[in-house]
Amino acid sequence: MILLSLSVLVVIIIGWICVEKFYHVQTPESNTTAGANQQAALQTETLQQGYGSEDVKSGDRIAVNFMGYLKDRNLFDSNLDSGKPYEFTIGKGEVVQGWDKGLIGMKVGEKRKLVVPPELGYGSEEKENIPKNSTLYYEVELVEIKG
């Protein structure tokens, strides 16, 4: 009986730790970017280090794999099933501002989590599967810097 109780307690503790790590966004290694007029900050967290000496900079055309979800973990967008990286140019407004700002400095192979406040996402604009004024959560892997 004691062994069963201890086993249940261990499972509960491990489950709590996993949930805390999964939902906890801001860590000491995370980076927060906020302008003077922003109500909320863009949050980034490196999930996996990249390699090489080249960093993403504004004007670079890059290829990424990503998934985007809401706070309730409902997936609203992803290219993972397509098998083809998503390409765009950083800083040209082709993606939400949170991506244009939050992917700067990434290296190839790096995986980064972004928490994009509404002001740097879609704001008061309602999109398919995304309610207005939503905070957006992304996990992005940099596949290639095309220059």
Which CATH number does the domain housing residue 97 bear?
A: 3.10.50.40
Task: Please answer whether residues 44 and 31 qualify as being in contact, where contact means their C-beta atoms are separated by less than 8 angstroms.
Answer: yes
Query: d(Cα 33, Cα 44) in Å, to the nearest integer?
Result: 8
Query: d(Cα 129, Cα 60) in Å, to the nearest integer?
Result: 29
**Higher-scoring residue by pLDDT: 41, 14:** 41
Alpha helices in 2-147 (DSSP H): 2-23, 97-102
**pLDDT for the residue 31:** 52
Other Cβ atoms closer than 10 A to 105: 14
> pLDDT tier at 36 (50, 70, 90 boundaries)?
very low
The pLDDT of residue 50 is above 80: yes
**pLDDT for the residue 3:** 45
Q: 28 in a domain, yes or no?
A: no
Looking at the structure of the chain, the number of domains it has is: 1
Other Cβ atoms closer than 10 A to 20: 9
- Tell me the average pLDDT across 37-62: 90
The pLDDT of residue 2 is above 70: no
Length of the chain: 147
Q: 123 in a domain, yes or no?
A: yes
Domain holding 67, by residue range, is 39-145
Q: 21 in a domain, yes or no?
A: no
**pLDDT for the residue 58:** 97
The pLDDT of residue 68 is above 80: yes
- 96-111 pLDDT, tens digit per residue, is 999 999 999 999 999 9
